[in-house]
Structures are given as structure tokens and as C-alpha cells.
Amino acid sequence: MTFKSILVFTDRGTSAKARLALARTLAENFDAHIVGLAVRPTQIYPMGFVEMIPQDVINSISAQNEEVVAALRKSFEAAMVASGLSAKSEWREAIGDPAQQIAVHGRYSDLIVIGQPDPDVQSGLATELADDVVLQAGRPILVIPYTQRETSIGKRIMVAWNGSREAARAVTDAMPLLKRATSVDVVAANPDGIGDEPGADIGKFLARHGVTVEVSHTLTDDISIGDELLNRTADRNIDMLVMGAYGHSRFRETILGGATRHILRHMTVPTFLSH
């Protein structure tokens, strides 16, 4: 398996520049086709009030949205020209709910690249964007932190392993990246019911695929699994995290907390997710 088609969602978010650069680098590394997607949200007005909004105001909002999309297209196409990927690139525009449109268009790609919304910036995106896309798309997603500045990833990868279907899917989906990595750390956090030697089986599986892997496990009595993973990414200078998304229902994670939700809100490195 390899990546032959990569979709990158473009917007005005804080990570937009790094996100496009990372998607471009991945396309170059895997000789993949790259698709840039911009989504214009459907304008929703309060019931009974739309008649009160002057038409010139509605037209102005529409024109502003079109200007934003035109600027995004210009940036995307300039990046493709600069990297020599014009012949293997494609631009798409859609109207509607961003998560739904990303999921629909992403189903024709091997990987979807999106950004983590900056909580301090009004980017026009809900914080649940990554949650919605990974649950709807049926494709792996790579979420780029809003603090991201590096334009290359995948040299030092950490895999969060718990033996679940979602974790197994993430490992398989990320295999093209894992094979290229200089080192891969498999961390079994709170390993319960996944063998006498937690992580040993997935370590052997990866080694058979030619992956340079190191396995460890940890118990997190005092801090959450999400915090433990974040701490380890910092301690080991990890540049990408691979994990399964939403082994529990999103409702349960919203109410009780969970590793997926915690990572999506506090990530410090690009995170590869599969559901």
C-alpha cells in the first residue's frame, strides 16, 4: 500500500501554510496526486429574519466568501508550481458543511490532511471538525496542530497501541509512513487484555514489514492516557503520532473524556487518525 492521492483542506486557519507544505511534501515523497479543497459554508440566517437582511448585505457576504476561496486557490496553485506538482494537482471547491464536504471528497483519496483550529482565532471552523471528518470519511486523516511550523514529518513516529480495531486500522493505514520512518515507538498505555507482553505482537507485525520498531508499555494512574502520550512525544522528540480514533462513542468521550478527544484538543505534533 502507498499514498497515491492526498486531499488537503485549505482555509485561513493558523496551520494553513504548514499544512499545505506538509501535504506537498507527502505528495512529493509518495509521487501522489494532490487535491486542494476549499469549502464555502452555506449561509444560514435565523428563521423569520432573512427577509429583514438587505440584499446588498447578503451579496457582500457572498462576495467576501468568493474572495477568500479565490485567494486560497491562488496560494494552492502557486505552491504546486513552486514544487513542480502542477501536473499532478487538482483544485476543488464545494458549498456546504465543511466536515461533510471534506469527508465526501476525501473518500476518493488515500489520506486527508486537515488542520486543528486555533482556539484563540476565529477561523470559522468548529473545534469538532477533525472529530466529524474521521468518523464520516472512511479514510485516515492527518491533523496538523495550529502551532505547526515544521514542513516535514514522519522521521520519528509514535504509535499509541491498545489492541483495538481502530488502533489496528491506524497502523495499517499509516504503514507507508511507518516504513519510511527512522524510528517507530509503539506505546501500549494501560495495557489490559492485549497479551502477556503488551505490544509484543504488534511490534513483531511491524518488524515483518521492515519497520524499525521499539515497544514499551506504561500504566497511567495519575494522569490521563492522552497526557501520557503528549508527554512521551515531547520526551522522545516525536514528530508524528499514530492512533486509532474513538474506540468508544464520541458521546461517551465528550461526557467522560477520552484519549482521542484529549489529543485533538491538545496535540503538539501532527496526528494520524483512523476510525
257-271: pLDDT as tens digits: 478 888 998 999 999
Instruction: Judge whether 217 and 246 are in contact, CB under 8 Å.
Output: no
Please report whether residue 150 resides in a domain.
no
Nearest to 201 by CA among 159, 173, 154: 159
Q: Which residue has the higher pLDDT, 232 or 47?
A: 232
Among the candidates 109, 144, 179, a domain finishes at 144
* Whether 130 and 186 share a structural domain: no
* Whether 160 and 259 share a structural domain: yes
* Whether 12 and 96 share a structural domain: yes
Q: Tell me the percentage of the chain whose pLDDT exceeds 90.
A: 62
Q: Taking residues 45-65, report their average pLDDT.
A: 64
**pLDDT at 60 (0 to 100):** 67
pLDDT at 238 over 90: yes
For the ranges 57-61, 89-93, 164-168, the maximum mean pLDDT occurs at 89-93
**pLDDT at 59 (0 to 100):** 62
Among the candidates 94, 122, 144, a domain finishes at 144
183-221: pLDDT as tens digits: 999 998 766 556 666 678 899 999 999 999 999 987 765
Please report whether residue 45 resides in a domain.
yes
Please report whether residue 149 resides in a domain.
no
Quote the mean pLDDT of the chain: 86
Burial class (CB in 10 A: 0-12, 13-18, 19+), 233: buried
d(CA 112, CA 86): 19
How many domains does the chain divide into?
2
**pLDDT at 118 (0 to 100):** 80
Burial class (CB in 10 A: 0-12, 13-18, 19+), 47: exposed
pTM: 0.89
Please report whether residue 248 resides in a domain.
yes
- Tell me the residue range of the domain where 46 lies: 5-144
**pLDDT at 256 (0 to 100):** 42
* Whether 131 and 177 share a structural domain: no
* Whether 170 and 257 share a structural domain: yes
Among the candidates 85, 113, 144, a domain finishes at 144
**At 35, which CATH number?**
3.40.50.620
**pLDDT at 124 (0 to 100):** 45
Please state the φ and ψ torsions of residue 149, each to the nearest 5 degrees.
Answer: -125, -30
Q: Which residue has the higher pLDDT, 199 or 168?
A: 168
**pLDDT at 2 (0 to 100):** 92
* Whether 163 and 122 share a structural domain: no
* Whether 113 and 226 share a structural domain: no
* Whether 77 and 163 share a structural domain: no
d(CA 108, CA 249): 26
Q: Taking residues 71-88, report their average pLDDT.
A: 95
58-70: pLDDT as tens digits: 666 677 878 999 9
Instruction: Judge whether 249 and 127 are in contact, CB under 8 Å.
Output: no
